[in-house]
Amino acid sequence: MSKRIVVLISGSGSNLQAIMNAIDAGQINGRIEAVLSNKAEAYGLERANNAKIPAITLQHVDFDDRESFDQAMIEQIDQYKPDLIVLAGFMRILTPAFVRHYQGRLFNIHPSLLPKYKGLHTHKRAIEAGDKEHGCTVHFVTEELDGGPLAVQGKVSIDVDDNEDSLQKKVHAVEHIIYPYAVQLFCDDKLACTEQGITLDGQLLPAQGYQLEIRQ
Ligand code: GAR
């Protein structure tokens, strides 16, 4: 059965766009029921409007604390009865109550090869560390920030002339491949978060998740 997806954003929403494009191309057995942003100016809301997807703004600054904001998000999101919640550049730390509520059906994308470089400034940190490769990871969200089990990774090489900006662009392009792919696998009931770990077609994945070969 087609899956119901809700996407949470804070900004440009280029990953949202990549997922919408993959749905339009028939690659994903699902549809985006709503897009929710914690920022009114997020360009991703316009992308949702253009695609005639309900676009909701719920500004965290209008709430007294994290708990009440997350509770308000849950009330909005649950109206759409989602099978999958996709964090696509949603730049808010979520409460344990929110994460538990969507356990096993909450995806995030992070611009590093987790478990390396949790948090911010991942590209700069990878360059400064002298790494030869970098990338991005789709993972299931748990209460530990950027710490949930890894589903899909895509790698890029760090070349001698790369700077933070060029590396960010390379990683972003790979995000637009691995995120729709992870959503596709989930919607086909191939990818699952189990007690034992992440499974793909019923087989337990290694800790770093499925490594998607990207031709650059
Ligand atoms: C993406 O690069 C994503 O990996 C990052 O925000 C960007 C959103 O871009 N997310 C995080 O850093 C989460 N920790 P987009 O709005 O164009 O999809």
Closest-CA residue, ligand 1 atom 7, reads 89
Atom of ligand 1 nearest to the CA of 18: 18
Domain ranges of the chain: 3-212
Q: How far is CA 117 from CA 23, 35, 134, in A?
A: 30, 27, 10
Fold of 3-212: Rossmann fold (3.40.50)
14 CA distance to ligand 1 middle (Å): 8
Residue nearest to atom 8 of ligand 1 (CA): 89
Q: Which of 111, 181, 141, 118 is nearest to 8 (CA)?
A: 141
Nearest to 86 by CA among 109, 69, 118: 109
Asked if the model's pLDDT at residue 216 lies above 70, the reply is: no
Mean pLDDT of the chain: 97
Active site residue 110: yes
With 0.95 as the threshold, say if the pTM is over it. yes
Q: Is residue 147 scored above 70 in pLDDT?
A: yes
Answer whether residue 15 shows pLDDT above 80: yes
The number of residues making up the chain comes to 216
Q: Identify whether the C-beta of residue 84 lies closer than 8 Å to the C-beta of residue 5.
A: yes
State the pLDDT at residue 167.
98
* Cα 122 to ligand 1 centre (Å): 11
Q: Mind listing the pLDDT tens digit for each residue in 99-142?
A: 999 999 999 999 999 999 999 999 999 999 999 999 999 999 99
Instruction: Give the burial string for 167-196 (b: 16+ CB within 10 Å, else e).
Output: bbebbbbbbbbbbbbbbbbbbeeebbbeee
Distance in Å, CA 141 to ligand 1 centroid: 15
Atom of ligand 1 nearest to the CA of 14: 17
Question: 3-class DSSP state for residue 53?
Answer: coil
Residue 25 has pLDDT above 80, yes or no: yes
Pocket-testing residue among 7, 8, 14, 118, ligand 1, by greatest number of atoms within 8 A of Cβ: 14
Mean pLDDT of 65-78: 98
